[in-house]
A = this chain, B = another copy of it.
Amino acid sequence: MSDNPTRTNIEELGEFGLIDKITQSFSAQQPSTMMGVGDDAAIIQPTDEQIVVTSDMLLEGIHFDLAYVPLEHLGYKSVAVNISDIAAMNAIPQQITVNLGLSNRFSVEAVEALYRGIGYACKNYKVDLVGGDTTSSASGLVISVTALGAASSQFITRRNSVYENDIVCVTGDLGAAYLGLQVLAREKQVFLSAPGQQPNLEKYDYVVRRQLRPEARMDIVYELRESEVIPTAMIDISDGLASELFHLSKQSNVGFRIFEENIPIDQQTYETAEEFRLSPITCALNGGEDYELLFTISQADYEKIKHLSDVHSIGYAQPLKNGLQLATKAGQFVDIQAQGWNHFKAADEADDIGSAD
């Protein structure tokens, strides 16, 4: 922000002035948005579809470090992670509200950058910003987003309806976002010890982008509809594949057998993991923040989706008593450990990721 030629303090505009300035650039795209920002509440005209609602909060120092996260990307990501939850319900996102807590070190220009990212996400996912609260914060930046979506009840995919022998699919590839975070954290240390040195992130462009600007897989939701497939269950991968498998297992009372060789991992993820002396498969299982979709389908539906280039079948559901197993490339069966992200642990502990094999 110090490079910014103009810096306008938020108090010059005040809360209402800031909101006016920001919301000018947002216009409604969804026919269900009857009224957005500017009243006590937004008004939404429902159809006969069911409404899904989800909410996520990103806190400075926990979920992001402004030393290496551009505000525009952060704005985009704060929307995308909520849209990802709507996608995981197999629903179509429609509206969002954004609550923002800003300390006085943020200028109007910084808030505009954040909202530019929010705006890109709104445009990309075709959602309307319909409300929220902007306030000052005594310490760091706080972003809390709520997303509303809609789908006919038969489309909605929950977590409690996996059947034994269902095929387990994941989209995209896994582990990259976690390694992107490792790269960024390392470059920050390098920068702090030698401020003149410019970081060279070209080699890590993919893993860094996966961390900074993840996409919700709405494209997959639309492809599934075109393929006339409704998953038996679906969840988004925010805490790592292992953790999400545990959620499905617990809620559906099934076990899983996952084949290591089928877990999609990008080449750059492999190479970066090697550089950091981390196991690529551990990053894929426990890395988190991939925001890919994990879903199960009946075997009968497999033919309908096997042409989808970014969907990978990685295993199948088995009786609960057989547990959550990883069939390794070496032909062994090992129990999958759920790590997830325990932000409540001390930071140095949380940075450790456990080994699954």
B-contacting residues of A (Cβ < 8 Å)?
A: 9-11, 14-16, 18, 34-35, 38-57, 59-63, 85-86, 88-89, 91, 95, 97-102, 104, 130-133, 135-140, 142, 144, 146-149, 156, 158-160, 234-236, 251, 340-346
Contact = CB atoms under 8 A, between A and B. Distances in A.
A55 B133 contact: yes
Contact of A89 (B11, B39, B91): B39
- How many copies of this chain does the complex contain? 2
Contact of A52 (B44, B89, B104, B236): B44
Contacts of A38: 159, 251
A40 to B, nearest CB: 4
Contacts of A16: 340
B10 A344 contact: yes
Nearest to A236: B40
Contacts of A236: 40
Nearest to A100: B57
Max chain B C-beta neighbours (<10 A), residue from A34, A98, A137, A158: A137
Nearest to A102: B344
Contacts of A98: 55
A133 B56 contact: yes
Contact of A59 (B41, B44, B49, B137): B137
A138 B99 contact: no
Contact of A39 (B39, B42, B158, B345): B158
A9 to B, nearest CB: 8
A104 to B, nearest CB: 7
Contact of A142 (B42, B49, B57): B57
Contacts of A341: 15
28 contacts: A10-B344, A11-B342, A11-B344, A15-B340, A15-B341, A15-B342, A39-B89, A39-B160, A40-B159, A40-B235, A44-B50, A44-B53, A53-B131, A54-B97, A54-B131, A55-B98, A55-B99, A55-B146, A56-B133, A59-B101, A59-B135, A59-B142, A61-B139, A97-B146, A104-B344, A142-B142, A144-B144, A146-B146
A146 to B, nearest CB: 4
Contact of A138 (B42, B48, B139): B139
